[in-house]
Chains A and B, each alone.
Chain A
Amino acid sequence: MTGKTSKQAMYLRMITASVARRKSRMLIALLAVVVGATILSGLVTIYYDIPRQMGMEFRNYGANMILVPADSTQGGMTRESIDEAASHIRSDELVGVSPYHYENLTINATPMVAAGTDLEAVRATSPYWYVEGAWPSKPGEVLVGLQEAETFSLKVGDKVTITYTVTGDDGRDAIEENPVEFTVSGLLDTGGSEEKYFFISQEDMESLTGKELTYNVAELSIQANAERLQEIADDISSSVPTVSPQVVKRLTTSESTVLTKLQALVLLVTIVVLALTMICVATTMTAVVTERRKEIGLRKALGASDRSIMMEFMGEGLLQGAIGGLFGAGLGFAFAQLVSTNVFNSSITFRPILVPITVLAALLVTGLACTIPVRNATNVDPALVLKGE
């Protein structure tokens, strides 16, 4: 077929010519679609990522699960049993584990309580600890709770001798005393009971007591909702018999209340923004198509059926919808990413499923937006349109 072009090829040629040569109008319509699609994909991505991202922020409240020895008469938990319990938590859920060994000690024969702990881990599990001065970083440094600092009149940089008394088997008679000098590296301000203790590293505690440490309690900060936490707790208590996990109800209950509200907020905002944007997109598309009444009249005069005109304009609208939707999906992800890095300092997971959804929604809106004005235009008498306004 020399020179013959198929109907489909001509159809494509007309549509692409319209898109390519009516630049300013096309740009307007395309811009409208891109904005709509960006908002759709961006907000939906954020909506789905809110629980994870915000959940991380709620870890600022500190440990939401604690491990205590299953049988307190048998002494504390070993490091191994704590680690084993922690291994039941997925690594992406676990924010931190800090074990505490509490010991009654004395300073100048005045009793006080000190905790030996993994100070690095504490910074993850208790981000709200406010330290005046510095966290202990080398052996022989101690962090002092604000109340105890007042009691013992301690300031940052002061030296203090902490004494461990080795008792006999009956736990009464002092057999031997082991004094060690510590430097106060910082004062701990929490507004809570932590201010009543001294904190030193596990290694210092071991050298002070001369025993291998067992722990009275371990604090776990886990990024999970209440049900998942309970699941983890059940899992640990059935597989690690030496420890007894307890969910900190105060945090989990409140967290689910607040998170639910936040997610509902973003959902509603998304719905309102989307509904309004989509209508905006539709009106713009409508305005752009309405402008072409004359052209529609001409095509009718040339013998185009209503159906083929509908097809051409829909085809054009859908082409814009597809291009705009694709762009918008990309831009929306970029926006979500921007929000995520700025607000939560973390990157967002890309959800491939959102691309087809965004494109489909864009197609739907542009399709609908074209239908009404094109139908109105095809109902007009071609003779009237061609005569001029």
Chain B
Amino acid sequence: MSLLEMKNVYKTYGDLNALDDVSINIEAGEWVAIMGPSGSGKSTAMNIIGCMDKPTSGQVLLDGQDISKLSRRELTEIRRDKIGLIFQQFHLISYLTAVENVMVAQYYHSLPDEAEAMEALERVGLADRAKHLPSQLSGGEQQRVCVARALINHPEIILADEPTGNLDEKNERIVLDLFRQLHAEGTTLVVVTHDAEVGATAQRVITLEYGKVTSEDGDISFGKGSSAIK
């Protein structure tokens, strides 16, 4: 059984079909990139996978549980327990230190544990920056804090929305290396991006255009992926 299964999902905003009969399967331990140009519906797909939005019709199964009909409250619980989120704009709480930002995720999930949060920061190479406020960290460091925050509760899926969009090349590599490590440890990764290079690091690329899946490539080469975007 797949970890995540989207079956004939539609999402409609007024007249616009943001998602038009989308079906996707993601297996446990997979590293999937969802790509597409702006307005292709990839953000909508990400919101639905991240339990922040519900489809207009169709089924979404996470761990075999249908989440498409759940209430906002139940979605919040699922999101808390099974999903780790990484955003393009990092979104750290400005007045909390790096370690405290990680602990916030623990706090909502179960129990805050400073030692464990420190371990997570160590993993992303930020142990020495733990007591710094977000404003004192570089963009790459902030995003690494977000990675630490995303993995702290051992989620079933880590969902990243343009995780390298605001980063320079060096930091991009650091973050992608982290993803590679996580993948090697068996974490399921879903990365939404329009950056071919980032997409290429994934095992599998799903391309969306005008709300439809236009290609689902198991093992794309660099060149092929990049031409698909154009």
Contact = CB atoms under 8 A, between A and B. Distances in A.
Most chain B Cβ neighbours within 10 Å, of A20, A298, A306, A388: A298
A3 B115 contact: yes
Contacts of B114: 3-5
Interface stretch (A10-18, A170-178, A254-262, A358-366): A10-18
Interface string B18-58: 00000000000000000000000001000100101100000
A304 interface: yes
B109 interface: yes
B172 interface: no
B105 A303 contact: yes
B141 interface: no
Contact of A305 (B73, B81, B91, B94): B73
Given A21-B133, A305-B76, A383 B52 contact: yes
Which bracket fits the contact residues of B? 35 or more
B103 A10 contact: yes
Interface string A367-389: 00000000000000111001110
A308 B104 CA distance: 12
Contact of A10 (B50, B112, B116): B112
B176 interface: no
A21 B131 CA distance: 13
B129 interface: no
B182 interface: no
If over half of B's interface residues share one DSSP class (helix, strand or loop), that class is named, otherwise mixed; here it is helix
Contacts of A9: 112
A301 B104 contact: no
A336 to B, nearest CB: 36
A310 to B, nearest CB: 13
A300 interface: yes
Given A5-B113, A304-B108, A298 B93 contact: yes
A370 B113 CA distance: 29
Contacts of A387: 43
Interface in A280-303: 294-295, 298-303
B100 interface: yes
Interface residues of A, number: 34
Interface in B128-162: 133, 149
B122 interface: no
A386 B89 contact: yes
A382 B112 contact: no
Interface in B76-115: 76-77, 79-81, 85, 87, 89, 91, 93-97, 100, 103-109, 111-115
B100 A5 contact: no
A303 B77 contact: yes
A292 to B, nearest CB: 9
Contact of A302 (B53, B77, B104): B104
A211 interface: no
B104 A5 contact: no
Contacts of A381: 52-53
Nearest to A4: B113
Contact of A295 (B50, B80, B89, B93): B93
A3 B52 CA distance: 32
A6 interface: yes
A241 B33 CA distance: 107
Given A5-B111, A303-B79, A305-B76, A382 B95 contact: no
A316 B47 CA distance: 30
B111 A302 contact: no
A250 interface: no
A302 B89 contact: no
A25 to B, nearest CB: 9
A6 B111 contact: yes
A300 B76 contact: yes
Contacts of A3: 113-116, 118
Contact of B111 (A4, A22, A295): A4
A13 B102 CA distance: 13
A138 interface: no
Contacts of B115: 2-4
A305 B115 CA distance: 25
Nearest to A379: B72
A303 B108 contact: yes
Contacts of A5: 103, 111-114
Interface of B: 43, 47, 50, 52-53, 73, 76-77, 79-81, 85, 87, 89, 91, 93-97, 100, 103-109, 111-116, 118, 133, 149
5 contacts: A17-B96, A298-B91, A300-B76, A301-B52, A303-B81
Interface of A: 2-7, 9-11, 13-14, 17-18, 20-22, 294-295, 298-306, 308, 381-383, 386-388
Given A10-B106, A382-B52, 10 more contacts: A14-B96, A17-B95, A17-B96, A20-B95, A21-B95, A298-B93, A299-B104, A302-B108, A383-B50, A386-B91
